[in-house]
Copies of this chain bind each other. A is one copy, B any other.
Amino acid sequence: MKKNVVIIGLGLIGGSLAKAFQKYSECSVSGMDRDPAVLEAALKSGAIDGVAGEKELREADILYLCLYPQADIDFIQAHGSQISPHCIVTDTCGIKREICAHLPQLAEQFGFTFVGGHPMAGKEQNGFAASDADLFDGASYILVPCGAPQRAVDTLKALAIELGFGGTVVTTPEHHDTMIAYTSQLPHVLACAYVMSPCCPQHNGFSAGSYRDVSRVARINEVLWTELFLDNADALTGELDILIDNITRISEAVKQRDADALRGLLRQGRLIKERLGE
């Protein structure tokens, strides 16, 4: 499929999408970024064929919004009239209710198609410099159609498989945000809370894989994640309450030296993982 792909925002996700399109597809890729140095790096590395302007927006077959949630909405409010009715616009945000409260209406207003999207990939570095054509290798790609035609959803699914994703999942904004609060936002909160212990700076020599794994994502982009957490505040705090409650149950068993209760709680954890075959 030789399509005109336009990518708005060439950070970790946008930059990786651009590189994956160049490596794995026949599409022509143009990009937009507020930072001229990033555009230059993207051109130089061959991640984009050209800088996207009004002409590229008008000719776009697929447009990926790779900014922060509110900035994605702002971009379409400012530039939606330049996007062709045949274009599929999608986003890559980590929350979907806030996006889907605005973008389907804007799509109707401007006449293009919108399908929400969330590539389940990332790393603990930001920006174009960290982008990688193989970031999505084997990852899940979540699609939130919000009433978009099946044809558009199928086009994005097919492109995702071309780019190396391992599979796609179609869901509602509400279910997406509930699950993401648990699978992604909670571990980020945890990592930050974990490294705040006074023991953390002395961990060297006393730590191994479990320290490394829990603390890894504490290297967080606090501006992005503050927006993502606040856009999903109800689901996230619900999960945090559940987690605090479960930690407290284990802690109480330890405090009361109740070996039977403690074994029972840890056993629950083991059985859940074993049933998942993990």
Contacts and interface: CB of A to CB of B under 8 A. Distances in A.
A25 B274 CA distance: 36
B244 A244 contact: yes
A167 interface: yes
B206 A272 contact: no
Interface stretch (A12-20, A104-112, A152-160, A173-181): A173-181
A236 interface: yes
A247 B202 CA distance: 21
Given A196-B268, A217-B210, A269-B192, A203 B222 contact: no
A222 B266 contact: yes
Nearest to A239: B197
Interface residues of A, number: 93
A251 B196 contact: no
Contacts of A182: 197, 199-200, 203, 206, 211
Contacts of A223: 263
A218 B183 contact: no
Given A213-B216, A244-B244, A184 B200 contact: no
Contacts of A267: 222
A120 B206 CA distance: 7
Given A197-B239, A226-B262, 19 more contacts: A122-B209, A140-B205, A142-B206, A167-B205, A182-B200, A182-B203, A184-B207, A184-B211, A186-B197, A191-B210, A196-B242, A204-B276, A210-B217, A212-B278, A215-B273, A219-B278, A227-B259, A237-B251, A247-B247
